[in-house]
Amino acid sequence: MEKVCIQDLLPQHPPFVMVDALTLFENEAAETTFEVKKDNMLVSNDHLRTCGLIENIAQTSAARIGYYYKYVLRQPVKIGFIGAIRGMKVMRNPRVGERLTTRIEIIAEAFGMVAFAASVRDAEGKVIAKAEMKTTV
């Protein structure tokens, strides 16, 4: 995959960007990486809070959609919203300095709504969080 600037794919702006790079784009899946930094606004007691994991998952979906609009359709990036979160399970909250890989797999997509399953893995490949989510564009 060609290297793209994550800022070009997301409607979010610093300091609220919770992904560093889109590393995989497919019609039915996407992956991002993210390093938890101490100055992140969703870090508390040197750990990324659960709301940060949720936002990381949502922004992984936004990066996939942003890539599709910008590079496939050649249209402006759209602003999306979280419509629903189901089955959120956090095994542990990542520490400052950890590098995460977040993967989403599309379950269904229609009428601007995307339903997907997500998993967040640590550097050792262990799942530390998972959920199903619906986002809208």
107's CB contacts (< 8 A; 6+ apart) are: 115, 116, 117, 132
Mean pLDDT in residue range 22-35: 97
Mean pLDDT, the chain, rounded, equals 95
Tally Cβ neighbours within 10 Å of residue 79. Answer: 11
Mark 3-12 as b/e (b = at least 16 C-beta within 10 Å). Answer: ebebeebbeb
State the pLDDT at residue 2: 67
Mean pLDDT in residue range 64-85: 94
> In the chain, what are the domain boundaries?
6-136
pTM: 0.95
Name which of 1-15, 30-44, 120-134 the model is least confident about.
1-15
- CATH of 6-136 among 3.40.720.10, 3.40.50.720, 3.10.129.10, 3.40.50.300: 3.10.129.10
Backbone conformation region of residue 101, classed left if phi is above 0, alpha if psi is from -120 to 50, else beta: beta
* Per-residue pLDDT band at 3 (split at 50, 70, 90): confident
